Amino acid sequence: MSELVEPRPVAGAWTATAAVVSVALWASTFTVFKIAFRRLDPLAFTGVRYLLLTALATGYLVWRRGRVAPSPSRDLRLVALAGVFGYFLLELTFVLGLDRTSVVASAILVATHPIWGVTFVAIGARRRPTGREVAGLAVGMAGVVVFLGAGGLGEVRSGDLLSLGTAISFGIYGAMIDRLGDRVPQGEMVATSMAAGGVLLVLVSIPALFAQDWSAPLPADWASVAYAALGPILLGFVLWAWALRRRGMARTAPFGYLEPIFATALAVAVLGESFTASQVVGGALVLVGVILAAGAAAEPEVPPAL
């Protein structure tokens, strides 16, 4: 009989660092994308990125299948469905929303994703949300109303609503990954979800790819395409998924508080964007709501399986 080996725990500092790096990468996309959209159609920009990412993900899955037995089909179907929300719907609403609103507005509204994540985790577990989770949802949504109503609710842009859709999609994705636990290896999970969502994104972007004037982009625009594909999407999602599986949703989601702060600071410094006092109040309420909801439960770190 083989001797059982005690699993080696993952240090909290490493999982925390992974979450912070992924959030910083995502925060940078708001400004990087906004600059790229000056010469690239948002859907064409997304289509080029996901042509590369889908090819990489598919190649990895083919390579892996020749060496390791795939996970049960039932789990892989859930992973693919998670990809529809975490890649297809998230990316589609994000780029279209960012193109139609400011970086500051998009960053604040997308930052509500931990509230939605904790809410969907509670729904998936078929449990009643705690009082703190309900309070977080109420405060966060009040912040959204204040933020959007800063200039009058009649001035709410379609990009604002699409950015909220991004947050909801990300929350559903996080809840699905949380539910899967360790049943699907991380590499297979990321590649499968990316391939499932990526194929749909490429199909939707085909008209924009043909309509795009490819003589317009500068070398810096092509660099932003490469960065957007390999940094925030590939590395960012891998690090976030790893942190989710080791720390759990409740202890990982709070790192999302940093994203609107990083994104807003970069937009003000690089793009010269500004915000009103009412938007500051609304953004602060959103962050308080996120802290209440995502901090409502605490889970011990989960050691990796050897």
| Count of structural domains, the chain | 1
**303 assigned to some structural domain:** no
- 181: which 2 tokens? 């636990």
Residue whose tokens read 């699993």: 7
> What local confidence, expressed as pLDDT, does residue 127 receive?
67
Q: What CA–CA distance (Å, rounded) separates 160 from 144?
A: 10
Q: Is 243 exposed, middle or buried (0-12, 13-18, 19+ CB in 10 A)?
A: buried
Query: Which positions of the chain have pLDDT values less than 70?
Result: 1-11, 125-127, 129, 149-156, 249-250, 294-306
**64 assigned to some structural domain:** yes
> What local confidence, expressed as pLDDT, does residue 151 receive?
54
Q: What CA–CA distance (Å, rounded) separates 252 from 249?
A: 5
**36 assigned to some structural domain:** yes
> What local confidence, expressed as pLDDT, does residue 26 receive?
86
What domain range is 159 assigned to? 13-294
> What local confidence, expressed as pLDDT, does residue 264 receive?
85
**286 assigned to some structural domain:** yes
